[in-house]
Amino acid sequence: GAVVSQHPSRVICKSGTSVKIECRSLDFQATTMFWYRQFPKQSLMLMATSNEGSKATYEQGVEKDKFLINHASLTLSTLTVTSAHPEDSSFYICSARQGWGNQPQHFGDGTRLSIL
């Protein structure tokens, strides 16, 4: 149980393109979904937290107009990197948590984004 699917797994696109990444909880309802960014050989950095039907809460330093997050249902959240540039190239990982208590976060397999 507790499977989180992230799509696509890899994206290579030109500078200026907008890229959408999907995160789905397959076998549970995700009250909260999280988006992380991971640079090579580093730990995960939280970008934003989103609850279903609410606006996302962004961490300090993360541009909300650059990284658009939509959490329209209890099983789907999307991250859109708008007008992506090479410095946006990174490994983006989503996670999902069921309920409001102590349930752990379960992670997707990540999306490798490369902007040329």
Partner 1 sequence: GQQLNQSPQSMFIQEGEDVSMNCTSSSIFNTWLWYKQDPGEGPVLLIALYKAGELTSNGRLTAQFGTTRKDSFLNISASIPSDVGIYFCAGQARDYGGSQGNLIFGKGTKLSVKP
Binding site for partner 1 (CB under 8 A): 2, 4, 6, 34, 42-44, 46, 49, 91, 93, 95, 100-102, 104-110, 112
Least CB distance from residue 96 to partner 1, whole Å? 11
The Cα 69–Cα 27 span in angstroms is 22
Residue 47 burial (CB count, 10 A) = 22
Nearer to partner 1 by Cβ, of 64 and 83: the residue is 64
In the complex with partner 1, the residue whose CB is nearer, 55 or 112, is 112
